[in-house]
C-alpha cells in the first residue's frame, strides 16, 4: 500500500510494436489486458496517463501499406487515418471497465508558455474526473520545427507536465541489456557506458529503440521522476511495476 501511495500518478508509454501481432493485425488481447490493468489501478486510487504510439502503424494497416512511407505528407496522412482508429481501440477497451478516455495531441509548442499551462490544467481536470488521458504527438500536422520527435521523449515531457510519480515505458524488450544480454535491473546514473549499451551499431533487435528510451529516462530522472523500461507483452506488467518498480525491467533512479 505504501508503494501505491508513493507512485499515485503514473505515466505509461505504450510502443507501437505492442499493438501489432503477426500479420500486422491489432493485438486485441494485449489491448484488453492493458485496459484491465489501468482500470485496476484507477480503482486503487492511482491516476494513469497513457502516451501511446500506433497511429501511423494503424494507418498503414488500413491503407494496406507494407513499408513505412518515406515522405512527410504520406506519414501525416497515415497518422490522420490511424489516429481515430487508435482512439477507437482505447475507447472500446476502457469502456468495458467503465472508464472514459480523452485524446490529447501535442507538439513541441504545447510545452511552452501559456499552452503548457493549458495542457497541464486540462490533464489535471481529466484525472480528477477519473478519465484516462491518451496522448500522442500530433503527427498529422507535425513538421521538423514543431515535433517532439518520438513518443519516448514525449512520455518523459508529459511525466514532467503532470508531476508524475513514475514513468513506465513499455515496449517489446525486457529492459536495458548488458554485454551478456542480461537485463540490468537498476541504473543509478546514466553514464557513457550505459548509453553505449544502446549503441545503434549493436545487432540486437531492440537497439534502435533503446537509444530514445534512455534519453527519455534521462529527462525523467533529471526531473526527479523514476523511469522503468519493461516488456509490455508480459501479463500484468503495469500493475507489477506500479506496485514495485524494482520487480520488472530496468529502473532508472532519479538524482
pLDDT digits (tens, 9 = 90+) for 145-202: 435 568 999 999 999 999 999 999 998 889 999 999 999 999 999 999 999 988 553 4
**Structurally, what CATH architecture does the domain formed by 2-6+9-252 represent?**
3-Layer(aba) Sandwich (3.40)
Residue 207 has what pLDDT?
33
pLDDT in tens, 88-126: 999 999 999 999 999 999 988 889 889 999 999 999 999
**pTM of the predicted structure, to 2 decimals:** 0.90
Largest CA distance in the chain: 49
**Three-class SS of the chain:** CHHHHHCCEEEEEECHHHCECHHHCECHHHHHHHHHHHHHHHHCCCEEEEEECCHHHHHHHHHCCCCCCCCHHHHHHHHHHHHHHHHHHHHHHHHCCCCCEEEEEECHHHHCHHHHHHHHHHHHHHHHCCCEEEEEECCCCCCCCCCCCCHHHHHHHHHHHCCCCEEEEEECCCCCECCCCCECCEECCCCHHHHHCCCCCCCCCCHHHHHHHHHHHHHHHHCCCCEEEEECCCCCHHHHHHHCCCCCCEEECCC
126/120 Cα distance (integer angstroms): 10
Q: What mean pLDDT comes out for the span 213-230?
A: 96
84/14 Cα distance (integer angstroms): 17
Amino acid at each position: 500500500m505504501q508503494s501505491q501511495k508513493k507512485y499515485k500518478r503514473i505515466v505509461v508509454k505504450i510502443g507501437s510494436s505492442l499493438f501489432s501481432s503477426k500479420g500486422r493485425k491489432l493485438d486485441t488481447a494485449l489491448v484488453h489486458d492493458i485496459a484491465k490493468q489501468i482500470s485496476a489501478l484507477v480503482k486503487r486510487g492511482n491516476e494513469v496517463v497513457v502516451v501511446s504510439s500506433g497511429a501511423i502503424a494503424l494507418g498503414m494497416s488500413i491503407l494496406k501499406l507494407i513499408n513505412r512511407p518515406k515522405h512527410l505528407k504520406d506519414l501525416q496522412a497515415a497518422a490522420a487515418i490511424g489516429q481515430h482508429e487508435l482512439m477507437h481501440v482505447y475507447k472500446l477497451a476502457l469502456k468495458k471497465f467503465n472508464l472514459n478516455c480523452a485524446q490529447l495531441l501535442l507538439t513541441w509548442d504545447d510545452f511552452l508558455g501559456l499552452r503548457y499551462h493549458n495542457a497541464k490544467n486540462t490533464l489535471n481536470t481529466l484525472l480528477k474526473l477519473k478519465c484516462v488521458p491518451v496522448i500522442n504527438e500530433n503527427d498529422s500536422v507535425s513538421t521538423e520545427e514543431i515535433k517532439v520527435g518520438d513518443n519516448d521523449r514525449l512520455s518523459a515531457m508529459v511525466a514532467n507536465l503532470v508531476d508524475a510519480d513514475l514513468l513506465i515505458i513499455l515496449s517489446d524488450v525486457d529492459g536495458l541489456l548488458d554485454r551478456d544480454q542480461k537485463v540490468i535491473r537498476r541504473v543509478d546514473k546514466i553514464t557513457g557506458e550505459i548509453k553505449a549499451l544502446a549503441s545503434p551499431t549493436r545487432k540486437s533487435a531492440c537497439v534502435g529503440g533503446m537509444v530514445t528510451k534512455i534519453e527519455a529516462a534521462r529527462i525523467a530522472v533529471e526531473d526527479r521522476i523514476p523511469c522503468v523500461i519493461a516488456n509490455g507483452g508480459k501479463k500484468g506488467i503495469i500493475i507489477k511495476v506500479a506496485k514495485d518498480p524494482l520487480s520488472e525491467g530496468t529502473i532508472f533512479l532519479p538524482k
